[in-house]
Amino acid sequence: MYKLLICDDEAIIRNGLKAIIEKTCTDYDIIGLASNGFEAHEMILFEEPDLVLMDINMPGMTGLEIMENVQTQGIHSKFIIISGYDEFQYAQKAVKLRALDYILKPIDREKLLQSLETALHDLIKEHHAKKEGTLS
């Protein structure tokens, strides 16, 4: 099982994502729900989740600030950004920080599941590469 953290300041979205993932994605273990940027940052540093569903605009720290910060601290979590903003600058920054995907709100269930499946394939591939010693 891969550790997944859900970070969004809207409880209805956090809980909705949790419900969808628990029903359909048996390869993920939801290790927590964060409601603001500071909480998300601390949970990522402490838990080192494999995958983070991250709202781009949260109180305290933005999702992009969190991504940038944890990467400089050597945390290798992968991120899927969730955003109510379709502005190019946000998507461009997310790509620069190596986000796996950028999903717009309102969240399309099929798009979310497709993104989670793609992330799972990346995680499995990375896990096998580490096992075989081909990835540092």
Give tens-digit pLDDT for 49-104: 999 999 999 999 999 999 999 999 999 999 999 999 888 888 899 989 999 999 99
**How far is Cα of residue 101 from the mean position of the Cα atoms in its chain?**
9
- In percent, the amount of the chain with pLDDT more than 70 equals 98
pLDDT at 130: 84
Give tens-digit pLDDT for 5-15: 999 999 999 99
pLDDT at 134: 60
Residue 34 is classified by DSSP as: E
Residue 136 has pLDDT above 80, yes or no: no
Q: Identify any residues that bridge with 83 across adjacent strands, giving them in sequence order.
A: 104
Q: Identify any residues that bridge with 28 across adjacent strands, giving them in sequence order.
A: 2
**48 — pLDDT class (breaks 50, 70, 90):** very high
Alpha carbons 111 and 125: distance in angstroms, whole number: 21
Alpha carbons 120 and 102: distance in angstroms, whole number: 16
What is the overall mean pLDDT for the chain? 94
